[in-house]
Amino acid sequence: MRSDGSALSLRRWWRSAGFAWAGLLHVYRTQANFRIEVWAAGVALALGWWLQAPLAPVFLSCALVLGLELLNTAVEAVVDVASPGVHPLAKVAKDAAAGAVLLGSLGALGVGATVLLPPLLGRVLGGISP
């Protein structure tokens, strides 16, 4: 929470990494969508490795979707603290954050369709043809 601007400290870095890990674990435990996205990312990366497809766009897409889902959860939590009652701006904040996840997920699907699908079809159809 507090930053005194002193030189880089490994202990401080570990402490911050611990908080970040706690945030990841909390979102994984409480958000079903995040759990689905984590497993989908694992499948996409395994598929990309098996197909020998370029992994960089797959890695980036997975990180984008998971990162946006974490931010969406953060926005929801902040909005619930700031506006426990119904408020039109609370709706704007939550819906815009959800829209960001949707947009990122569509982009990831596009990456999957262009990077993973062609070699996958090649393997499947190649395996079927004589």
Ligand X SMILES: Nc1ncnc2c1ncn2[C@@H]1O[C@H](COP(=O)(O)OP(=O)(O)OP(=O)(O)O)[C@@H](O)[C@H]1O
Catalytic positions? 69
> Count of alpha carbons within 13 Å of 86, Cβ hemisphere only?
0
Give the nearer residue to ligand X in terms of CB position, either 95 or 109.
95
Give the number of residues in contact with ligand X, rule: CB under 6 A: 9
Task: Give residues 38-77 in contact with ligand X (rule: CB under 6 A).
Answer: 76
Using CA atoms, how far apart are residues 29 and 35, in angstroms rounded to an integer?
8
Taking the complex as a whole, the smallest distance from the CB of residue 120 to ligand X amounts, in Å, to: 31
Q: Residues near 115 by Cβ (< 8 Å), separated by ≥ 6?
A: 48, 53, 54, 57, 58
- Build a one-symbol-per-residue string for 96-125: x at contacts with ligand X by CB under 6 A, - elsewhere: --x---------------------------
Minimum Å gap between C-beta 81 and ligand X is 11
Question: Which secondary-structure segment (H or E) carries 60?
Answer: helix 55-82
For the chain, helix (H) and strand (E) counts, in that order, are: 5, 0
* CB closer to ligand X out of 66 and 115: 66
